[in-house]
């Protein structure tokens, strides 16, 4: 009987290993994949001291640079630029006014030279003054037509294949998966279910104020230009607390903007998991870290190394980056 149990156990283990290999098919064997599987096994093995009830299995993912690229520019910024161009005929005054003038001249760098107030002007012009329903339509329409300049594909084709597998593997292991991004919540929600399998209510992001109004007897929500939450850096634990109300068990990021999210996650009791995607693959994607103006990874890389967090070396750890490669 004992021998049979042992045999059955081995068979089960072999099946489980085969299942994991299948689930994480785009991951090369190595320390990153091993660490992921070890953590998931620890919290899902029922008689282990490390077991965590399914209702507490919360995993949070940054979006830009963690689930899809952020180069050469944040995709949401490209959306805003395209909106400015679309709206320009109704705004002749933009031809002589920054940051719109530079945007229309195709010089994003000059447009952003105005710093925070320039960004605030762009956000107000492109992300406010419309109802939430209208904005959702704008995002959906843009995503259906815009194409990434390097890969000449819709932006939503650029979700990282290994991360899609990881999301599914975690969900199949009883985790509830969330996005916690510095990007705009209303920009992400229209497509996260389709692309990542993450429903709108599991998306946390930067948020502007909303106002309830009646338009001809129909209730609408109007997006206002005032920012309520910048869900980046120390804003990420704040956003998580507001939306999720529980400390995550596992957090996945790629830049210094994710540092406090990772720290907050790791500060809880019991088994925890923190992972950083390090962009090391200029050939298939991009290679950047400490000096990049977009997605800078400096302090968080030091802390990850000091604390033994898992670091994904994109070039070494991922068999493929995108599904189409």
Which residues form the interface with a copy of itself (CB under 8 A)? 55, 132, 176, 185, 189, 193, 199-203, 207, 210-212, 218-219, 221, 228, 234-235, 237-238, 241-246, 260, 263-264, 267
- Cβ at position 299, least distance to a copy of itself in Å: 13
Query: Considering beta carbons, is residue 238 or 287 the nearer one to a copy of itself?
Result: 238
Handedness of CA 311, 78, 161, 232 (dihedral sign): positive
- Cβ at position 212, least distance to a copy of itself in Å: 4
**Pairwise CA distance, residues 321 & 325, whole Å:** 7
Pick from 212, 271, 245, 263: nearest CA to 44: 271
- Cβ at position 168, least distance to a copy of itself in Å: 16
Query: Considering beta carbons, is residue 219 or 308 the nearer one to a copy of itself?
Result: 219
Query: Considering beta carbons, is residue 4 or 212 the nearer one to a copy of itself?
Result: 212
Burial (CB < 10 A; 0-12, 13-18, 19+), residue 156, is middle
The two tokens of residue 170 are 């975690």
Long-range contacts of 42-50 (CB under 8 A, 24+ apart): 42/271, 43/249, 43/271, 44/173, 44/174, 50/270, 50/271
Query: Considering beta carbons, is residue 47 or 55 the nearer one to a copy of itself?
Result: 55
Query: Considering beta carbons, is residue 217 or 293 the nearer one to a copy of itself?
Result: 217
Dihedral, 146, 147, 149, 152 alpha carbons, nearest 10? -160
- Cβ at position 215, least distance to a copy of itself in Å: 10
Give the DSSP H or E segment for 274. Answer: strand 273-278
- Cβ at position 200, least distance to a copy of itself in Å: 3
- Cβ at position 154, least distance to a copy of itself in Å: 22
Query: Considering beta carbons, is residue 95 or 246 the nearer one to a copy of itself?
Result: 246
- Cβ at position 143, least distance to a copy of itself in Å: 16
The two tokens of residue 82 are 């395209």
Query: Considering beta carbons, is residue 63 or 260 the nearer one to a copy of itself?
Result: 260
| Contact between 110 and 102 (Cβ < 8 Å) | yes
Q: Which DSSP string do the residues of 133-193 spell out, in sequence order?
A: HHHHHHHHHHHHH---TTT-S-GGGGSBHHHHHHHHHHHHTTPEEEEEEEEEHHHHHHHHH
The two tokens of residue 35 are 């660490």
Cis peptide before 31 (omega within 30 of 0): no
- Cβ at position 52, least distance to a copy of itself in Å: 15
**Pairwise CA distance, residues 121 & 123, whole Å:** 5
SS in 3 state form for 187-204?
Answer: HHHHHHHHHHCCCHHHEE
**Pairwise CA distance, residues 242 & 250, whole Å:** 18
- Cβ at position 190, least distance to a copy of itself in Å: 9
Query: Considering beta carbons, is residue 104 or 244 the nearer one to a copy of itself?
Result: 244
Query: Considering beta carbons, is residue 99 or 205 the nearer one to a copy of itself?
Result: 205
């Amino acid at each position: 009987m004992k021998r049979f149990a042992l045999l059955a156990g081995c068979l089960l283990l072999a099946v489980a290993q085969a299942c994991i290999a299948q689930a994480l098919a785009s991951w090369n064997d190595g320390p990153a994949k091993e660490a992921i599987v070890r953590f998931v096994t620890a919290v899902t093995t029922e008689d282990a001291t490390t077991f965590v009830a399914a209702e507490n299995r919360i995993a949070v993912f940054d979006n830009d640079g963690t689930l899809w690229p952020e180069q050469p520019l944040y995709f949401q910024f490209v959306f805003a630029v395209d909106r400015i161009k679309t709206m320009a005929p109704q705004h002749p005054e933009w031809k002589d006014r920054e940051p719109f003038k530079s945007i229309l001249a195709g010089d994003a760098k000059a447009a952003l030279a105005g710093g925070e107030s320039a960004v605030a002007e762009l956000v107000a012009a492109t992300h406010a003054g419309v109802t939430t329903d209208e904005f959702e339509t704008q995002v959906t329409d843009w995503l259906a037509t815009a194409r990434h300049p390097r890969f000449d594909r819709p932006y939503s084709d650029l979700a990282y294949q290994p991360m899609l597998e990881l999301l599914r593997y975690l969900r199949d292991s009883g985790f509830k998966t969330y996005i916690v991004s510095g990007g705009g919540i209303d920009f992400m929600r229209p497509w996260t279910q389709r692309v990542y399998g993450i429903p709108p209510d599991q998306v946390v992001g930067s948020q502007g104020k909303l106002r309830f109004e009646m338009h001809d007897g129909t209730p609408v929500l109007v997006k206002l230009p005032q920012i309520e939450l910048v869900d980046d850096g120390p804003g990420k634990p704040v956003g998580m607390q507001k939306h999720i109300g529980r400390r995550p068990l596992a957090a996945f990021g790629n830049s210094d903007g994710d540092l406090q999210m990772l720290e907050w996650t790791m500060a809880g009791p019991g088994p925890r998991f923190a992972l950083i995607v390090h962009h090391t693959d200029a050939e298939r994607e991009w290679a950047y870290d400490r000096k990049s103006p977009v997605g800078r990874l400096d302090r968080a890389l030091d802390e990850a190394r000091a604390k033994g967090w898992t670091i994904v070396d994109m070039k070494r750890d991922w068999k493929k980056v995108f599904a189409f490669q």
